[in-house]
């Protein structure tokens, strides 16, 4: 059972990653994660922390496929593994239709096909193969220059069964975000297993929003600050409705209250949060990533650091 942490801010200054890299280096936290940063670029922030002497295992959950060719993604991932000296998890997601259109002039007609091709090319390149792939969305004819590096796990961002089945087929890691433990157990884990035909199913990783109960803290406001953008996205609220939560993308404030009351947003003492983390492991999750972004946005990074440290001590 692994417990990790995620950078609870979109880094706009590279030093912001250092306190959290220090926590991973000095605690039982398994890995430091970031999502897609549109501030200081994710790979570069991790490389900076390693250059400052904090060489810790890192994960990217997820970066968006439209931002770079899979050859460039493979170069970046193996460079990061070499710089940190640890295995790296490279999670890929298709992004929203609006984001893809802004970069590529039109959305993917089939996001599943796009990411399947992307991971197939990545897999071949990182395995040292000569890749000859001419797909609907991605083309690659060539190979990486050989270079030794620690292992790289390929991940796929999943919210719903179809992408979970694809992760079972092509990924090492299925990465999900803001998903109730019951939904992981009843929907995602079976779909991942169904997709893993004649292969070991990928391990499940879930990013979980959390905050420690302290006097004067409003859990609903913290949850709203943490999840506002996700709760306004139809694909996230669709996933939550499939999990039985009464949310709608036009009402993020209502959705935030539902997340707290349902226990999807973990709020309580460090010991209570530990018990909730255990429920995810019991649902089949290999690695739980604690996300204190709501605290960071509401009260500042020092408060988010304090929460993470209290949670990890309770683990």
Separation between Cα atoms, residue 35 and residue 258, nearest integer Å: 24
pLDDT tens per residue across span 36-89: 999 999 999 999 999 999 999 999 999 999 999 999 999 999 999 999 999 999
Residue 241, both tokens: 């409705």
DSSP 249: T
Q: Is 269 helix (H, G, I), strand (E, B) or coil?
A: coil
Residue 173 pLDDT > 90: yes
pLDDT tens per residue across span 181-210: 999 999 999 999 999 988 999 999 999 999
Separation between Cα atoms, residue 57 and residue 81, nearest integer Å: 8
Backbone phi and psi for residue 262, each to the nearest 5 degrees, phi listed first:
-85, -10
Separation between Cα atoms, residue 297 and residue 9, nearest integer Å: 7
Closest CA to 82 of 43, 118, 119: 43
> How many other CB atoms are found less than 10 A from the CB of residue 241?
12
* Residues ≥6 apart with Cβ < 8 Å to 72: none
pLDDT band with cut points at 50, 70 and 90 for residue 297: very high
Residue 290 pLDDT > 90: yes
pLDDT band with cut points at 50, 70 and 90 for residue 1: confident
Separation between Cα atoms, residue 154 and residue 251, nearest integer Å: 34
Report if pTM > 0.85. yes
Closest CA to 270 of 313, 217, 306: 313
> Region 269-287: what's the mean pLDDT?
97
Mean pLDDT score of the chain: 97
β-pairing verdict for 139-142 and 131-134 = antiparallel
């Amino acid at each position: 059972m692994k417990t990790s942490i995620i950078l609870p801010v979109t880094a706009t200054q590279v030093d912001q990653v250092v306190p959290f890299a220090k926590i991973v280096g000095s605690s039982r936290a398994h890995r430091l994660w970031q999502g897609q940063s549109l501030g200081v670029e994710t790979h570069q922030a991790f490389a900076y922390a390693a250059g400052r002497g904090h060489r810790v295992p890192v994960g990217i959950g997820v970066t968006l496929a439209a931002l770079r060719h899979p050859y460039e993604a493979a170069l970046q991932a193996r460079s990061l593994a070499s710089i940190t000296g640890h295995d790296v998890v490279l999670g890929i997601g298709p992004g929203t239709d609006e984001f893809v259109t802004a970069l590529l002039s039109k959305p993917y007609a089939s996001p599943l096909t796009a990411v399947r091709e992307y991971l197939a090319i990545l897999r071949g390149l990182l395995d040292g193969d000569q890749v000859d792939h001419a797909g609907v969305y991605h083309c690659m004819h060539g190979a990486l220059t050989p270079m030794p590096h620690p292992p790289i796990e390929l991940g796929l961002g999943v919210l719903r069964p179809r992408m979970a089945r694809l992760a079972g087929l092509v990924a090492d890691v299925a990465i999900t975000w803001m998903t109730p433990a019951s939904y992981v157990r009843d929907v995602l884990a079976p779909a991942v297993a169904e997709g893993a035909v004649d292969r070991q199913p990928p391990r499940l990783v879930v990013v979980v929003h959390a905050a420690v109960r302290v006097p004067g803290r409003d859990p609903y406001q913290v949850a709203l600050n943490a999840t506002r953008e996700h709760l306004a996205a139809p694909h996230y609220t669709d996933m939550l409705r499939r999990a039985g939560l009464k949310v709608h993308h036009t009402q993020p404030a209502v959705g935030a209250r539902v997340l707290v009351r349902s226990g999807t947003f973990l709020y309580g003492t460090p010991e209570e949060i530990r018990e909730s983390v255990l429920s995810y492991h019991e649902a089949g999750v290999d690695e739980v990533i604690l996300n204190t972004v709501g605290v960071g946005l509401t009260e500042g990074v020092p408060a988010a650091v304090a929460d993470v440290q209290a949670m990890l001590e309770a683990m």
